[in-house]
Structure 1
Amino acid sequence: MATNTSAATSSCTYCSKIFNDPRMLNCLHSFCKECLDKYYDEEGSGTNLKCPNCEISTPLTAVGRIDLLPKDLQASYEADITTYELKMKSKKEIECDRCVDPENGPAVSFCCNECKFLCKVCTKDHKTWRKTLHHELINLSEKKKKGDVLKNIPHAPMTCNAHPDATLTYFCESHHILLCRDCVLLEHKSCEYQMIKIAAKAEKADLLSYLGKVEEIRAKLEDAMGHGDKVMQRVNATHKTVDNSIKNTFKALYEALRSRERALLSVSGDIALGKETALRMQHENVKKFHDDATKTCKRIKAATEVYTPAEMLSTKTTMATKLQYLMKLFQETILESCKSEVMPTSLDNAALLKDIQLFGQVIAGCCPSLSTATIEFIPKAVKSRERKFVIQARDSQDKPYPKGSEPVYATIRLMGSEESPTTLAVTDNENGTYSISFTPTSIGKHVLSVTISNEHIKRSPFIVYVREPRDYTALNASIQTFKAPTNVCGVALDEHSNLYVTLDNHSIVAFDKSGTQFSELGTPGSNSSDDGKFYYPRGILLKNDLMYVADWDNHRIQKLKISGDLVAKFGTEGSGKGQLNCPSGICMIPEGKIFVSEYGNNRVSVFEADGTFCSHITGQGQKGGDMKSPRGIAIDPTGNLHVTNYGGSTLVKIYSQCGKYISEYGGDKVTSACGICIDAEGYSFIGGTYANPGRVEVFDSEHKHIKTITAVSNIWHLTLDNDGFLYAADFSNSQVQKY
């Protein structure tokens, strides 16, 4: 259920009750403060709150501080009006809002200035007390007599939350909040502030200037909608035309088949008739021969029995001649049927049926909303350096669309800039893929938009972080050290660059940018299999306000809120589907699939974001693809997985997301490779343990070794921030080093 953002309403869609202290979110949806507090406790985390209706995120100025959200005074006013109307329509007597003496009777008037119902006594006092002498009073009996309700009355006086007896009369231009006189004197005396009416004029003008721009945008959107409606109409018309063409084509094919059927039946009839005629003639000739032979035999037999010798001798020559004739005729007579019942046909329909099954094609073209871009795997770039990515067009069945010539259009612009977006060159590879590159000229967040046929591809527009270039060959000593309570294992950064570290004492600690610890999860020094507790946590992944932890000796992945509250867990000890054995590294692709390296099972397990098992990647059966005690795992800019082969001679093995072994590199540089991270240009950083001294090896995008960073101890997991700085877990020295 969605609220109306064009005007205030009187009830909260979360609790379906009349608003109680409504607060407005950035999406312009308003809810009771109490409802938002409850919703935040159930669903929120950190300094962001998603709207219960539209899920648009609103940043909070402090963790959990719903009270700092702006009050929706208009919604509060509408709620008050609704409350007044309900009281007026009710058959119950309305209680006085000022006194509590039941002997004074029910309310008989309503004060428009204080927005309170007054009994007879309080009404009289109101008319005689100097401070309220000029307040506008409404006679309730007259209103009810007319069947009228309280409408179009002034807003109730706005009182301050911090000072309930004071009225809000000022607007703080520094903090954009309403103030009372006490707030100004006590808390905002150094701020710029104005009387509400004066400030409202300037703010209204500012709001109207934005409104004018948005109105222009709205007009263009309406034009686009009108154009879209026309295109939809043309699509529907084309659909009908195509359907009619299909029907007419198959109708013609059906008529052709019927005509061919009739022709073959006619030929079949003619052949059968010819056979029957020939056989009938043969039958008649044989029958005639048979009858003649029968008569002759009968006549001659009788002659031999009843003729006198003289009679027989006189006709013997003639009878012998006839018998010889019959014998000769028999030799010339064909007794076998001149025609067989066989009627050879050529009706092998296998080829025809196959052709029919493949006959015709309605080409849908590619589906932009399912088409993907490799930029999403690492949405980062480096200033003044070319950044390449590939678009894969896909059809409505989410399969690669093999044809080119689609209208692909790409632009990029600096977020917040007033300049027009830069159009990017697109190369059609004529196989359903399109190559795009750009060279950013400024650092910061950029908006990358990619469309096909004027429709955004999957996840477009993208947010691309552009940083200053770094010369990794010049990396030597660390520039900052984060000291941890004990041995450090995994490292990850949130969107605010806070550092989260898994520790060997079964806990997780968090540091701000300055290196100050501000959070601790788990039970330090005590392992546990309870929810939210850990037994040697290793790899850690942060996604928005969620944390995924590879819980090594509990053989599971825990999905938690940043606050530490458990959301889900998956994996049990074993080697079956969905089971894990010493999970170490963890990474995620934009679709939400999670890849977990299993030290004990020599494989990578793939899960959906909710923990549903998908598949295993083992490399078995592929030459060179077998893993041995994999630990670290990372994804490169093309979407391939890089897995550190801790127990093998090869440092890193590369696999596709579906498990195909691709290649390997770096086997002669580090023994016992552990952590790995990859930057936007494809540079990879690999940490080695049990080396003396500990090292981080750096490889370029072609997997050529370019640098060794010598650390002071064993290097476990690694990560990079948006500015290209490297964070390495220095295990034995209980610290994280930043380079």
Structure 2
Amino acid sequence: MMNPIPSVSLSGFLQTQGECSKCNTQSKLGLILLDCFHCVCEDCIYKCADSESKQLVRCPVPTCRHCTLFQDRTPYNLLAEDLAFVLTVKEKASSNKLVCCTCVNHQVGSGHSLCLDCHLVFCKEDAKYHKKYGRSVSKKHQLLTREELNKITIEDLLKELQNKFGSCNRHNGNLIEKYSVVNGDYLCDKCASKDCMDHLMYTTQDILATSKGVLNKSIKKGQKTCSQSNHLIASLTKEFSRIMRTKDEVLERVGSFYNSLLTEIEIVRDDTLSKIGDKFEANLEELNACISSVQNLTDIHQRVYNYTELAYHFCSGKHLYSSYDTLQVKLEKMACDLATFKVPNFGDVSFKINKSMTSGRELIESFASLHLGSKYETGELVLGPTIPVPEPLLWINGIFLDKEGSMFVADGNNSCIHIFSNESYVKKVGDKADLKCPMGVSVSGNFVYVTDWMAHTLLSYNLSGKLVKKIGSNGSGAQEFWCPKGIAISESKEKIFVADLGNSRIKVYGLDLELKSYFSHDDIHGPKDVLVNSDTLIVLDSKSPFLHLFDLTGTLLRHLVDRSQPLLLKDPAFFTLDGENNVIIADEIGNSLVVYYLPENSYTQHSLGNDITKFSEPTGIAADLNGSLIIGNNGNKQLMKCFIKTTTSFV
């Protein structure tokens, strides 16, 4: 129960009789004196009453925290409040900490100080006013002195509670039969039926039975808890002593180990510093020599680049000199200038310039051979007829041509594979029940293998169109794909290679679609397509250097494209290899074909058809045995046939 702390003393109440302590006005409705000795008019009580119970719960005066009505008063709470109040007051009385509830400056001394009916503590001066002006004049307001309080036991409280049921608070004579929760009165049945019909009531039998049961249960629980606490305290004390002994032993061992370790560290540190100093002094001269050599080599590289660019412009007909003789004199002077440079510790220079070069033409050819390679190709795109199809190809992806002239075209939006024979339409394989967006397609024997971009699967069909097997799901696990795209088959090794674009890896399967292995590389950033060329695998990547050459076990042999050269690709889709060692890539965003010539150690590139009237979003591409190209032109939903007419020149 909250200890009431009123804002005014009893003397203040006597001075303000007749005025409401909340609104400070003379009330016409009459004043009601609360336990905290605040006089409040009925109008203020009505305004501050609880909205549900319509009862005043706390004193309306803002500075007062006094509780005027206890909510949820059950038989258990009645006894608990009595016990808790008396025991708390006894404890505070023994330590002289009791304070009067109406005047906080007065400590309680001897005399009448405790009201058992109202659960309030008073000093000797205010106790008599409480007995006269208490909230319920029907209560007995039994006051106990400090000495009487110390003699009270729990059994006495039960007896006192029994005595409360002696006679009705409204009039002496009838036995108490009920208790009103609203105003705290003990009433006979007649008074309860007459004046308190709407009050929450408890019978005396309920109160006594519940109070005794709860009290006995609390005493037993308290005894058990006390026994457990004593046992726990003894165990903790024993454990604490053991921990303290262990701590001392550990500290002693740690201190000894630390001292020995510190000595070893100092020895190693001194030895290491000595060795580092000797090594640094020995290598300082060598480091300075290397720095000087690098600076000289950088200067030489810049001069060679300038001379090479000049020779290239002359070969291309873009020179700025009025005659060949003028250029020849200039180049001979440059050759003599280069010969004066010395490159220590770097071996033979690959371009081998010397003073004996007296012919300007020889010097030009030497530079051109160094910078451009011995072969340079240009090409012209010759367009052929379109291949008729029975229905619109909504989105052309991978294209495959076999040796018998059959063509297989993956249609992404129609969710099927179209089959042609000698450019005549035959039938389609697959439907939307099996495929969502077929991307890559390849054929081995009597089976068609397809990658599904959206379903993240790999499928096989027979030539009759029946689904044989379907594997994979979305993810990065060994048996999963993330947007698989290109597919290629090695007939000799009976292996299927799949470009797993989202996982940046190449997966290897048997012809029965059982996983054999997979591999990746730091330079692979999203493979778009794969192509088997004899015993090697060419991988088309999403980023520079675009083309990588692997053996069929997954070992990188080399990059086919030099990182230092400008690239013409914008968004590679699929690629093919013709009979003249040309790698031809369909550039979807660039609306063009990019051709790479691949000799042993060099390449050239050029872009064909970068005109939207020729190509519009080309994706699928394949080359037949005669060198003709089949291109899927998605901008106008056509299959186009063309070939590249190349010319070769040496400079």
Instruction: Answer whether TM exceeds 0.5 for this pair.
Output: no
Tell me the TM-score normalized by structure 1.
0.33
Q: Which has the higher contact order (CA 8 A, sep 6+)?
A: 2
Tell me the TM-score normalized by structure 2.
0.37
Instruction: Mark the structure with the bigger radius of gyration.
Output: 2
